[in-house]
Structure 1
Amino acid sequence: MHLEAPVPEIKVPIIWVLGGPGSGKGTQCDRIVAKYGFTHLSSGDLLRAEVSSGSPRGKELTAIMERGELVPMEVVLDLLKEAIIKALPDSKGFLIDGYPREKEQGILFEKNIAPVNLVLFFDASENTLVERLLGRAKTSGRVDDNEETIKKRLHTFNTHNDQVVQQYPDKLKKINAERNVDDIFAEVTTYLDLLVA
């Protein structure tokens, strides 16, 4: 384990943002940041930044990804932890986007960083997500935006996400992500207003 440095006490809210690919959680995160001044941390962005930094750890990650293997949980946790510590002096709260992907990651995060205050789950049916992602594929040119791959990604997401969601019944807010962006955000603000009050 790499988690040597203790994390200073975090007195601002920590929110996990969950939702399948295409659930619109990125859009909602942008709005939350604009309104509440929270720090948005995406585990995927942190990994990509580390890889492009060319650091020894980045090179190690590149090799893992090229072999098509999953990045070890501890590495993702380390990157999140470092980003949180770095932003802590000025942050009003943390939006952790796309993490935890599975139950064990959530347990490790709470043990090594801090307890989570709120879990926002943007929930949409598989049909809606497939439709949205295929719509996006027309303009994105992303290789993983074809129907077969999309269904695989959604299946993987749902399998693990169910376990995460079941673990935090008291902190979980399940949000219907099939509605328009404004209605969804209006619901989000009702939860966040209570949290920052």
Structure 2
Amino acid sequence: MIRSFTKEVKIVPSEVTVKLLQQARQHSYNKRFIIDGFPRNEENRTAFDTIMKIEPAFVLFFDCPEEELTKSTLNRNQASLVDDNIDILSKRHKAYFETTLPVIITTLFVWLS
């Protein structure tokens, strides 16, 4: 199910993602985690708050030009991934700017205020 969502450049349902994070946290001896690329939308953030009931100690945000992201992804040294092509990357970037970036800004204010 997760693979099909990823292939279609759709966000995995928030409850699924957060439950996986919760399971990883419960089965680990580590008390601190870095969660890369999350939340991707407002529903992710809300589900995380509701299910996990924890707030991050900090949020790390890297800003990078779209051209550099595309170049880096197309040149990465991985076995040819189905979603590493210019059409899919364009969809990813569009989704990021329309959905993810606004929630990052909101998250910074909500979690860090």
Q: What TM-score results when the alignment is normalised by the length of structure 2?
A: 0.77
List gaps (5 residues or longer) in structure 2: none
Q: CA deviation at 1:169?
A: 3.2
The corresponding residue for 1:165 is 104
How far apart are the structure 2 equivalents of 1:86 and 1:109?
18
The corresponding residue for 2:22 is 81
- Deviating 4+ runs (over 4 angstroms): 66-70
Say whether the 8 Å CA contact 2:39–2:104 is kept in structure 1. Answer: no
Counting only pairs closer than 5 Å after superposition, residues 45-56 of structure 1 correspond to structure 2 as none
Change (3 A) 1:71 1:133: closer
Amino acid at match of 1:104: E
How far apart are the structure 1 equivalents of 2:108 and 2:17?
24
Paired-residue identity, % = 31
Query: Structure 1 residue 115 and structure 2 residue 70: aligned?
Result: no
The corresponding residue for 2:87 is 148
| Structure exhibiting the larger radius of gyration computed from Cα positions | 1
How far apart are the structure 1 equivalents of 2:26 and 2:100?
26
Q: CA deviation at 1:134?
A: 2.0
Does the residue aligned with 1:120 lie in a helix, a strand or coil? coil
Q: CA deviation at 1:98?
A: 2.0
Of Structure 1 and Structure 2, the greater strand share is in: 1
Amino acid at match of 1:158: F
Provide the aligned length of Structure 1 versus Structure 2: 108
Say whether the 8 Å CA contact 1:73–1:105 is kept in structure 2. Answer: yes
How far apart are the structure 2 equivalents of 1:105 and 1:147?
26
**Residue-by-residue CA offset, 1:47-90 (whole Å, 9 max, x unaligned):** xxxxxxxxxxxxxx36x828956532211111111111111xx2
Say whether the 8 Å CA contact 2:83–2:89 is kept in structure 1. Answer: yes
List gaps (5 residues or longer) in structure 1: 1-60, 173-197
Does the residue aligned with 2:62 lie in a helix, a strand or coil? strand
